[in-house]
Amino acid sequence: MDAAYTLYATALYYLSLFIESFWYFNATDEFLNMWADAQKLAYSQGAGWMFWNFKVEKSELAGNLSRQWSYLEGIELGYFLKDPTQVHDPHVCDPYVINSTTTA
């Protein structure tokens, strides 16, 4: 096998793992609430805001995806607040942030 084929096969393998985890992602309401806050807080500190699908159609084929990936559904279910700059818990990321001090 050449290097290009190996790289391609590796990429396909990891893509399939990502797609599988995306499709079977089954989070609790509490987790989705915390996840929404964490994304807003983390991404607003860097290059911009988080990405979420604005609307995912509810259908039998899509299963529970609208609950987990639709911004409008998130507002309806309370994961997102109507004001996108607001969060439920401004300290949701605190356990995962390493505080350090530096001296010049």
Alpha helices in 1-104, H assignment, sequence order: 3-23, 29-44, 65-69, 71-77
Beta bridge partners of 53: 70
Judge whether 54 lies within some domain. Answer: yes
Judge whether 103 lies within some domain. Answer: no
Q: What is the Cα–Cα distance from 25 to 9, expressed in whole angstroms?
A: 24
| Of 26-30, 50-54, 66-70, 80-84, highest mean pLDDT | 80-84
In the chain, the number of structural domains is 1
- Reduced to 3 states (helix: H, G, I; strand: E, B; else coil), residue 68 is helix
Q: What's residue 101's pLDDT?
A: 57
Judge whether 39 lies within some domain. Answer: yes
Checking if the pLDDT of 81 tops 60, the result is yes
Q: What is the Cα–Cα distance from 9 to 83, expressed in whole angstroms?
A: 43
Checking if the pLDDT of 8 tops 70, the result is no
Task: Work out the average pLDDT over 34-46.
Answer: 79
Instruction: Band the pLDDT of 76: cuts 50, 70, 90.
Output: very high
Amino acid present at 78: G
Range of the domain at 85: 26-96
Q: What is the Cα–Cα distance from 16 to 24, expressed in whole angstroms?
A: 12
User: What pTM did the predictor assign?
Assistant: 0.57
Judge whether 51 lies within some domain. Answer: yes
